[in-house]
Amino acid sequence: MESAGDVAVGRSPVNRLPGATAFTGMPAAQALLSAVHAGGPVLAFVTGVAGSGKSDLLQHCRRLLNRSGTQVFTTIPEHEATRPGCAVIVDDVHHWEAGSLSRLTDLADRGDLTVIAAAEPRLSDNNIRQVQRTFSALGTDIKLGPLPTPAIIARSGGTVSAPVADVIRRIAGGNRAAIDTALDVLRADPAADERAAREAIAKWQHERLRALDPTTHDVLTVAALQPSPDPHTIADTLGLDPTAAIEALDRARGSGFLTGTDEFLPAALPVLRAVRGEHQIASTHRSLVDALLDRGALTIDGALAAARSGVVDGRLADLLLSAARTAPPAEAADLWHAALTAGADPGVVRVPLADAATLAGDLDTATRLADTILAADSPSDRRDAVRIGAAVAARRGTYSRSADLYRWLGPEAAGPDATIGVLTLLATGDRPGAEEFSATAGAAPPTTDHARGTLLSSGLLASLTSSPAAALGPILRAVSLSAQHRRAEPESAAAVAALLCLHSGDLAGAKAALSRDCDQTPREQLLLGWTAMVGGDLSTAADILGEVTPQNLRDELVAHALAVAIARRRGDMGALVAAWRDAVPAVAEMEVDLFALHPLGELWLAAVRLQDTARLAHLVMAADRLLAALGSPPAWSMSWSWYGVQAAILADDPSALVPYARQLGQAAAGEPFGAALADAGRAWLRVLQGQPDVAEVKKAASALEQAGLPWDAARLAGEAALRVDDTQAATSLLQVARLVGAPAVAATATHVDSAHPAAGPLTEREAEVARNLLLGLTYREIGARLFISGKTVEHHVARIRRRLGAGSRSEMLSMLRAAGYGPTTNQGGAQSATSS
């Protein structure tokens, strides 16, 4: 069988035949014309949908034969009238009776006649298929299928671009007549655009649809509602007997509005609605849903479409409810809403719909539903409304609202959700309130949800008085019970576990807690990126940040904080300025809670770095008050105090460092992470005071690196190297900075050139050259800035490389970044290395 697209589109000798250009891009049709022109008996059966060009092709064949003097019959002639060499060209044989088709087959069997017949596809008509098999065996079976994009370009004479041709193909479904209608419009008016082509095709489709019989309309409507309908579905929906349904489906296939898989042409849906009317389509849809429900064949997608179109049916609602109970949150929200539309009891749907909407990020819908449920008389409904409202508020970054909701509800009315009250109150620093809710939590039935909540709340309370490791156990057990958790709550157990690990320097634990669930939320993905950033893996952190779409303000704050943290650690001032500018609107809306201290800390450091601390000074003070209200628990205060130390370092303000260093000292007892931070704080204080202790710095840097803070460790050692007078000490500190630095630095700086031992910290001029070098400036550009020659700059760079003991240029640049010589202003001006 030859198809319209079997032969490459291009110039062909057949195009020189009269009228052959009408079949440009249709090589099978052109081949038939060429065969007819060559003379001799030709046997061909042409199939194609309405508008495919089969009738036009037969007309061109008749003209060629008439010009050659061949006698042409357009109906089945009497046997004695057909002399050898005559031609029989007949169209629309799909309408013929069996007897006429048998006579056509007899003519084809003779072998001394040209016989060309055309029909619409009839997959279920055995008589047509038998004729087609005969022609295929003795001659050629030609299928005029949808025209591909290259064929459309060729038919336009190359005047239509590939993108426009592809749009025309898609809208027209590859139908030749519809395509030519669009091309005619574009040829007639050079100013016509894609919109004009769309309108021309829609007009053709409208006229074609109106010409079809009502039953074909019905079948096309069913196909538009239920892709690839089978004859049984059509029969049950339209009330046809099986044979009539099969014939009706065949006619619909020949109409040109169904794809090869019996799906209605998507671009023609508006035309179908215009021709049939919404009322008739809705009526057919209801009949289709009834038929599919009776057979248990309605798919979930079909059920959703039915509900959205306004079909109300108890069985439809039940099907959607059943699917919603096991679907992922984003899908569940649509299913619950569709079930409500299909007639499900609002009292059954509202709470799970609000849960699903919250988990899917549709906080406005969740809030509206929660407010409605809150006014209900049922205590359980009010409890659910408070839980959902608290979950929404937490996602919007307002834990104060979450806490207020639970205070209003009270510990007794909270029942099994009292454990959530513990979390929300602790998040806002209300320890007594949290303990009051905790006291009533044990009376609830021991369901899995309650067990999970109890473990989470008990772990959080333990984190106020116990070591992080002791508090982490119950929280991790809560994570294990969260696999099929579908209720909206302020925090997931995995997020709380990861945050506690991050606050105590356990990066491996944070990653493990977040990696337990393969279906991570955006918040958990961002925390995974945060873990990578703290550990110095900035590339992974940046990759995760680029892939995650924040769902709410809480996510946005973490994303903004992660962006500024990456930029600051890379020494990229331009990126830092841009990231901070993007973060400012979210910072203005930010409220402090226990679970937002890490993001706030990074935003604080960015503000100090960019001299914009007034914008969030109130948030820093609020964080200090929150931790004080909780009793300054080491599990949560150590990291915050370290941020305070770093802020003082960036501001070059030793006095501001003292209170945070003191808090670290108090947290150090029995806590290796706290001890590492306390030692680093003391070392930094001496560095800022101009009295660095080399041994102390080395020990502190090593401890920081072991505590999961390699970037901080490298920065401490690098800054100390700049402030010691002894050359050998400076060299050893720079070596420490290289060894403990972030992976990207350590991977580049792997050895010291022993032939050129380092000779001490950089001179003031060398430091200026280094800073400009890290801005990416050329020697000539640096010389112009510093009023020296490019050659002199080159000599300075060589000396810098020898002083650092760098074996290559890339190694030297890595060491300079680790030592704090990175870009310091968006104009590239130089500041003290302490502000890097």
Cα 21 to Cα 13, 154, 236: the distances in Å are: 11, 10, 46
* Confidence band of 689 (pLDDT split at 50, 70, 90): confident
Q: Are 725 and 737 in contact (CB under 8 A)?
A: no
Q: Map tokens 């608290």 to a residue.
A: 390
Query: pLDDT digits over 222-247, tens only?
Result: 999 998 899 999 999 999 999 999 99
Kindly list the strands in the beta sheet with 87-90, ordered across the sheet, starting from the edge strand earlier in the chain: 2-3, 140-143, 43-47, 114-119, 87-90, 72-73
Q: Of 512 and 83, which is predicted with more confidence?
A: 512
Q: Which band of pLDDT confidence, cut at 50, 70 and 90, is reported for residue 784?
A: low
Summarize the confidence of residues 800-828 as an average pLDDT: 70
Q: Is 83 helix (H, G, I), strand (E, B) or coil?
A: coil
Tell me: pLDDT of 67 over 60: yes
| Residue 81 confidence (pLDDT) | 64
pLDDT confidence of residue 485: 66
Question: CA-to-CA distance for 290 and 137, rounded, in angstroms?
Answer: 45
pLDDT for residue 16: 58
**Residue 389 clears pLDDT 50, i.e. is over it:** yes
Cβ distance 503 to 635 under 8 Å? yes
At 744, the pLDDT band (50, 70, 90 cuts) reads very low
pLDDT tier, 516 (very low <50, low <70, confident <90, very high otherwise): confident
Query: Which residues, 6+ apart, have CB-to-CB distance to 618 below 8 Å?
Result: none
Of the ranges 327-331, 607-611, 737-741, which one carries the lowest mean pLDDT score? 737-741
Model confidence at 158: pLDDT above 90: no
Please give the backbone phi and psi of residue 285, each rounded to the nearest 5 degrees, phi first: -65, -45
Tokens of 825: 């202003």
Q: Are 453 and 465 in contact (CB under 8 A)?
A: no
For residues 263 and 313, give the distance between their C-alpha atoms in angstroms, rounded to a whole number.
25
Question: Is the model more confident about 783 or about 253?
Answer: 253
Do 749 and 738 contact (CB within 8 A), yes or no?
A: yes
Q: What is the largest CA-CA distance in the chain?
A: 121
Are 347 and 380 in contact by the 8 Å Cβ rule? The answer is no
- Structure tokens given for 752: 């010291």
Query: What are phi and psi for residue 88, nearest 5 degrees?
Result: -120, 115
Q: How far is CA 588 from the centre of its chain?
A: 28
Residues 757, 763, 766, 770: is their CA dihedral positive or negative?
Answer: positive
Q: Are 495 and 523 in contact (CB under 8 A)?
A: yes
Please give the Cα distance from 434 to 438 (Å, whole number): 6
Question: Whole-angstrom Cα distance, residue 685 to residue 688?
Answer: 5
Residues 39-64 pLDDT 10s = 889 999 999 999 999 999 999 999 99
Tokens standing for residue 697: 């710095």
Q: For 100-108, what is the mean pLDDT?
A: 93
Q: Which residues have a Cβ under 8 Å from the Cβ of 802 and sit 6 or more positions away?
A: 756, 758, 759
Amino acid identity, residue 287? S
Q: What is the spatial distance between Cα 650 and Cα 820, in angstroms, rounded to a whole number?
A: 11
Pairing verdict, β 87-90 and 72-73: parallel
- Assign 3-class secondary structure to 185-210: HHHHCCCCCHHHHHHHHHHHHHHHHH
Cβ 820 vs Cβ 831: under 8 Å: no
Structure-block tokens of residue 447:
């369901």
User: In whole angstroms, how far apart are CA 553 and each of 6, 369, 626?
Assistant: 56, 20, 21
Buried b (16+ CB within 10 A) or exposed e, 761-786: bbeeebbbbbbbbbbebebeebbebe
Left, alpha or beta for 279 (phi > 0: left; psi -120 to 50: alpha)? alpha
Answer for the pair 252, 268: CB distance below 8 angstroms, yes or no: no
CB atoms < 10 A from the CB of 426, how many? 29
The answer to whether residue 745 scores a pLDDT higher than 70 is no
Structure tokens at 159: 């005047």
Task: Output the CA–CA distances (angstroms, integers) from residue 448 to 219, 328, 358, 741, in the order listed.
Answer: 50, 19, 21, 45
Neighbours of 804 (CB within 10 A): 31
pLDDT at res. 654: 84
Confidence label for 788 from pLDDT (cuts 50, 70 and 90): confident
Structure token pair of residue 211: 């010409």
Model confidence at 721: pLDDT above 70: yes
| 316: Cα within 13 Å, side-chain hemisphere | 28
Question: Which of 36-50, 181-195, 366-380, 809-823 has the weakest average pLDDT?
Answer: 809-823
Separation CA 756–CA 805 (nearest Å):
6
Rounding to the nearest 10 degrees, give the CA dihedral for residues 606, 612, 615, 617: 80
* Residue 443: count of CB within 10 angstroms of its CB: 11
**408-429 pLDDT, tens digit each:** 999 999 999 999 999 999 999 9
Mean predicted confidence (pLDDT) in 713-728: 83
Q: Residue 2 in 3-state DSSP? A: strand
Spatial contact of 728 and 805, defined as CB atoms under 8 Å apart: no
- Quote the pLDDT of residue 4: 45
Residue 278, classed as helix, strand or coil, is helix
Provide mean pLDDT across the span 435-459. Answer: 89
Residue 534 contacts residue 509 (beta carbons within 8 Å): no
- The rounded distance, in Å, linking the Cα atoms of 672 and 695 is 19
The residues with which 143 forms a beta bridge, in sequence order, are 3, 47
Nearest CA to 358 out of 324, 392, 334 is that of: 392
Distance CA 662, CA 624 (A): 14
Instruction: Provide the pairing of β-strand 140-143 with 114-119.
Output: unpaired
Check if the beta carbon of residue 397 is closer than 8 Å to that of residue 557.
yes
**Given this model, what pLDDT does residue 6 score?**
40
Helix (H) or strand (E) holding 615: none
Question: What's at 101, amino acid-wise?
Answer: L
- What is the average pLDDT value for the chain, to the nearest integer? 88
Name the DSSP class of 147: P
| End-to-end CA, the chain | 73
- Helix and strand numbers, DSSP H then E, in the chain: 44, 6
- Both structure tokens of 322: 């059943």
In the prediction, which pLDDT does 823 show? 59
The conformational region for residue 158 under phi > 0 = left, psi -120 to 50 = alpha, else beta, is left
**What predicted TM-score, i.e. pTM, was given to this entire model?**
0.74
- What is the distance between the alpha carbons of residues 796 and 788, in angstroms, rounded to a whole number? 11
**Residue 639: its pLDDT value, please?**
93
Element (H, E) at 773: helix 764-774
